Every structure is written in structure tokens, then in C-alpha cells.
């Protein structure tokens, strides 16, 4: 290994483990960026601390407690390198989707603690019913961490020999399932040439006429194979909260970068330094307040859901709306504040040594994800005025 751990993995909180990885992720930031995938030393550290497996039951190395811990992980890792946080967040989603497998299949897919996972919830493949399972074909775009993955979770439109359909037939009410497919059956197509989140390696993946047994095909939002408080949490808004936590992590790091520039770039003489500019002083004060308030709102709303889930009660639309709204606004304001820091830092923003330029690219890429787009605020607002939110994933 390229690092020395100061904590015992089995006794540590995920957030403490993330702090252990922080320095490693920052150290290998250049390698991750140039290779367009997370540096191997960082991957090894994440595996050792089970940070790729937080969404699994505790018996398989998962967290299975208040999901605010996972938000702290994403924020810490994003402060070092947003690409690292992004792939960990995507692994949580893959592991969370594993809840829909039966207990035997879940153990088969997730039995190896060194395995890494990738997923695409976009229905970009077709699965034709055959004896014992399905024949799957398709090409999925933007599959983050695909080069690292041992298993893929890919969404398909269901077809049959008697009633064949194609992706052109997608629409409301389409029959869709998620398929768990090992890496040996998946081809990676190099398509990820981008600026922000370059290190996520979010290439296309292709599957051609691969047999997937019935047990490895599940319904998104179906009955969980193992019933516990964590598996009862809604996938959608918890995923949105994770995305927002990454945006807050990037904001924190950018704010720290600007503060460091102010403290270290002090010159003798009468010329004012960057720290003497009123715009810089104001921006730092605003960013500290915004970060603290948005983090608190996000954590409180997620904790409220956790308490409901522990009691095995039903989530109200308003409780779900609180998470959706907190996530969308935290992410949006973090992006705006990061852009403001980029602006007031002046020429320092463009130098790689200060990292502000990279963080600016990363946070704009983070907010392209569909899980925190403005329409979710509209859905939350419907709940607040007594209407029933219409998006299926609002409650899933």
C-alpha cells in the first residue's frame, strides 16, 4: 500500500475512513486526472476501508446506519478530488440497487470485498426473455468507474419473442428491469474526453447477447431481499443528497484554497494584497455561512428520514420533499459560490497549484446530473402546497 492507516477499519466510522483517504486522493490527484480513472493506490485504500460498499448490509461490509455518514464521506473525498467522491457515490448506488436481489443472489454478487461496482439507470439496452432468464444487448453511456468495476448494474427494456420491442418503444409504463452482469461480459468503449470529473472514467459500455439468469434481473423499486432500516430508505432523494454533499465538499475545498492564497500571498510594501480586497473578504464570509447552513439543512432532512425508516413508518411527501429541496438548493448554491470564488480570486484561479480551476470544472460537471436538476424543486413544491408529486422516483 502507498499509505499507512491510523485507524482500525472495523472500528472506524466511514467519515473517519474518508479522512484517512483524503491525503491519498489529493496526492494522486494528477495521476487520476491524466489517467481518466482513479489512481490504483487510491482504489486500494477505498477497498481496504470498505468505502465502495457502504450501501450494502453490514454482513457484506456495508454501513447500515444513519446515511448522513455517507454524506460526510462524499464531502470529505470531494474536498480532495471530486472524481474519487463521484465513483464512491456511484458504488453506493450500485450496492443500494443490490437490495432488490434475493438474499442468495446478493451474496453471490457482493461476496468479494475487493470488488468494485458500476451502474447505469438509463434504459439503453434491451433484454429479451429466454428460458431461465434474459438475453441482454445494448450500449450504455456515461458509466462512471467502469474500468474499475467487477460488476455492472444496467437497466433494460424487456422484450419477448412473442411481442418484440426496441428502445424506440420506450415510454410511460415501459417494462424495465435492472441486470447484474459481471465485467467479463462487458466491453468498454473509450468515450470520456471531458474537463470536469475527468478522473471518473465515465466511458460507454457495450453488452452483446449476454445471458443473465432470472435471479439477476430485478425491478427498480421492488421488494427488498433483506428488510432493514437502511434498505427501506428511498433511493432517489438519498442519491440526490449524496450528489449535493459532493458539491458542498468542492465548495469547502475552493473556499479553503482562497483562504490559503490570502494568508500565504502577503507581500511587503504599500501595494494591497488579495486579502485586502473587500470582494474577497465578503466572498469568504458568504461561503463559510452558506456551507454551514446548507450542510446542516441537508443532514437534518436526511436524519429525519432515517428516524422514520428505523420505526418502519411511511415517509410523507413533505419529508421526502425536504430532502429533495435541500439537496437541489445546496448543490445549486455551492456551484454559484464556487464560481464567485473563482471570479474574485483573480489570476490565481487559473494556476493549477491552487486547484481552484479544477474544482470549478468539477462542480459544474457534478450539477449536470439529473438527480439534482431544477424540476425536482417543482416536485418538492407540489408536496408543500398539498399536491401529489408526479415523478415516479420522488418516492422510490
Q: What is the pLDDT of residue 30?
A: 95
Dump pLDDT digits (tens) for 80-120.
999 999 999 999 999 999 999 999 999 999 999 999 999 99
User: Which of the four pLDDT bands, split at 50, 70 and 90, describes residue 307?
Assistant: very high
Task: Report whether pLDDT(354) > 50.
Answer: yes
- Cα diameter, the chain: 83
Distance CA 192, CA 179 (A): 23
How many angstroms separate the Cα of 260 from the Cα of each of 77, 176, 255, 355?
19, 50, 9, 11
The DSSP H or E segment spanning 2 is none
pTM confidence score: 0.95
Task: Report whether pLDDT(366) > 60.
Answer: yes
Task: Report whether pLDDT(351) > 90.
Answer: no
Q: Look at residues 105, 104, 103, 129 and name the one whose alpha carbon lies nearest to residue 216.
A: 105
- Fold designation for 9-110: Butyryl-Coa Dehydrogenase, subunit A; domain 1 (1.10.540)
Distance CA 165, CA 395 (A): 28
Dump pLDDT digits (tens) for 183-221.
999 999 999 999 999 999 999 999 999 999 999 999 988
Q: Look at residues 64, 67, 84, 55 and name the one whose alpha carbon lies nearest to residue 249.
A: 84
For all residues of the chain together, what is the average pLDDT?
95
Q: What is the pLDDT of residue 1?
A: 40
Q: What is the pLDDT of residue 9?
A: 55
**Would you kindly state where each structural domain of the chain is located, as residue ranges?**
9-110, 117-218, 235-394
User: Which of the four pLDDT bands, split at 50, 70 and 90, describes residue 15?
Assistant: very high
Q: Which of 5-14, 129-138, 224-233 bottoms out in mean pLDDT, i.e. has the lowest? A: 5-14
| Coil, strand or helix at 16 | helix
Distance CA 76, CA 249 (A): 6
Distance CA 356, CA 103 (A): 45
Distance of CA 254 to the CA centre of its chain: 19
What residues contact residue 323 under an 8 Å CB cut-off, 6+ apart?
A: 237, 238, 240, 241, 298, 301, 302, 305
pLDDT above 90 coverage of the chain, percent: 89
Q: Look at residues 202, 138, 206 and name the one whose alpha carbon lies nearest to residue 176.
A: 138
- Fold designation for 117-218: Butyryl-CoA Dehydrogenase, subunit A; domain 2 (2.40.110)
Distance CA 161, CA 173 (A): 20
Cβ atoms < 10 Å from Cβ of 250: 30
Task: Report whether pLDDT(6) > 50.
Answer: no
The DSSP H or E segment spanning 185 is none
320 grid coordinates: 421526502
Cα torsion 115, 61, 79, 5 to 10°: value is -90
- Return phi, psi of residue 177, to 5°: -140, 160
Strand pairing category for 133-143 and 187-189:
unpaired
Q: Is 132 exposed, middle or buried (0-12, 13-18, 19+ CB in 10 A)?
A: exposed
Q: What is the pLDDT of residue 266?
A: 83
How many angstroms separate the Cα of 239 from the Cα of each of 68, 177, 214, 372?
12, 19, 27, 9
Between vectors from CA 194 to CA 325 and to CA 32, what angle results, nearest 5°?
Answer: 95
Q: What is the pLDDT of residue 269?
A: 76
Domain 235-394 has CATH 1.10.12.10: no
Q: Which residues pair with 125 in a beta bridge?
A: 138, 156
Count, residues in the chain: 396
How many angstroms separate the Cα of 129 from the Cα of each of 14, 162, 223?
41, 10, 21
Q: Which of 6-20, 77-91, 295-309, 332-346 bottoms out in mean pLDDT, i.e. has the lowest? A: 6-20
Distance CA 377, CA 151 (A): 33
Q: Look at residues 205, 162, 178 and name the one whose alpha carbon lies nearest to residue 105.
A: 178
Instruction: Please report the beta strands in 195-241, taking only residues with DSSP state E, as ranges in sequence order.
Output: 203-213, 217-218
pLDDT above 70 coverage of the chain, percent: 97
Q: What is the pLDDT of residue 171?
A: 87
Half-sphere exposure at residue 31, Cβ-oriented, CA atoms within 13 angstroms: 11
Question: What is the arithmetic mean of pLDDT over 137-141?
Answer: 98
Q: Which residues pair with 118 in a beta bridge?
A: 152
Q: What is the pLDDT of residue 10?
A: 57
Amino acid at each position: 500500500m502507498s499509505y499507512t492507516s491510523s485507524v482500525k477499519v472495523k472500528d472506524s466510522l466511514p467519515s473517519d475512513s474518508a479522512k484517512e483517504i483524503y491525503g491519498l486522493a489529493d496526492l494522486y490527484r494528477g495521476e487520476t486526472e491524466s489517467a481518466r480513472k482513479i489512481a490504483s493506490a487510491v482504489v486500494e485504500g477505498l477497498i481496504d476501508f470498505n468505502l465502495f460498499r457502504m450501501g450494502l448490509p453490514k454482513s457484506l461490509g456495508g454501513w447500515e446506519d444513519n446515511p448522513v455518514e455517507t454524506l460526510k464521506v462524499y464531502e470529505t473525498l470531494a474536498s480532495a478530488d471530486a472524481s474519487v467522491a463521484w465513483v464512491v457515490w456511484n458504488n453506493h448506488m450500485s450496492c443500494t440497487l443490490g437490495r432488490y436481489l434475493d438474499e442468495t443472489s446478493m451474496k453471490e454478487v457482493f461476496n468479494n470485498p475487493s470488488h468494485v461496482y458500476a451502474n447505469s439507470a438509463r434504459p439503453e439496452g434491451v433484454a429479451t426473455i429466454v428460458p431461465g432468464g434474459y438475453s441482454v444487448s445494448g450500449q450504455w453511456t456515461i458509466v462512471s468507474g467502469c474500468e474499475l468495476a467487477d460488476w455492472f448494474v444496467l437497466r433494460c427494456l424487456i422484450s419477448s419473442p412473442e411481442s418484440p420491442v426496441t428502445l424506440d418503444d420506450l415510454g410511460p409504463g415501459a417494462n424495465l428491469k435492472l441486470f447484474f452482469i459481471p465485467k467479463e461480459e462487458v466491453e468498454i468503449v473509450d468515450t470520456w474526453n471531458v474537463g470536469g470529473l475527468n478522473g471518473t472514467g465515465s466511458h460507454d459500455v457495450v453488452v452483446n447477447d449476454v445471458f443473465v439468469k432470472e435471479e439477476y434481473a430485478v425491478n427498480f423499486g421492488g421488494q427488498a431481499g433483506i428488510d432493514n432500516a437502511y434498505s427501506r430508505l428511498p433511493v432517489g432523494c438519498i442519491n440526490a443528497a449524496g450528489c449535493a454533499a459532493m458539491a458542498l465538499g468542492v465548495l469547502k475545498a475552493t473556499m479553503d484554497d482562497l483562504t490559503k492564497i490570502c494568508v500565504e500571498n502577503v507581500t511587503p510594501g504599500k501595494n494591497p494584497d488579495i486579502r485586502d480586497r473587500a470582494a474577497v473578504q465578503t466572498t469568504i464570509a458568504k461561503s463559510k455561512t452558506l456551507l454551514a447552513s446548507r450542510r446542516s439543512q441537508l443532514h437534518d432532512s436526511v436524519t429525519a428520514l432515517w428516524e422514520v425508516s428505523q420505526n418502519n413508518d411511511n415517509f410523507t411527501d413533505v419529508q421526502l420533499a425536504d430532502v429533495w429541496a435541500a439537496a437541489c438548493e445546496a448543490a445549486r448554491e455551492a456551484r454559484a459560490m464556487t464560481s464567485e470564488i473563482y471570479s474574485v480570486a483573480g489570476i490565481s484561479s487559473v494556476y493549477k497549484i491552487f486547484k481552484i480551476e479544477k474544482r470549478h470544472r468539477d462542480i459544474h460537471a457534478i450539477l449536470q446530473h439529473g438527480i439534482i436538476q431544477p424540476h425536482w424543486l417543482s416536485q418538492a413544491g407540489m408536496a408543500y402546497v398539498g399536491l401529489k408529486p408526479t415523478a415516479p422516483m420522488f418516492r422510490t
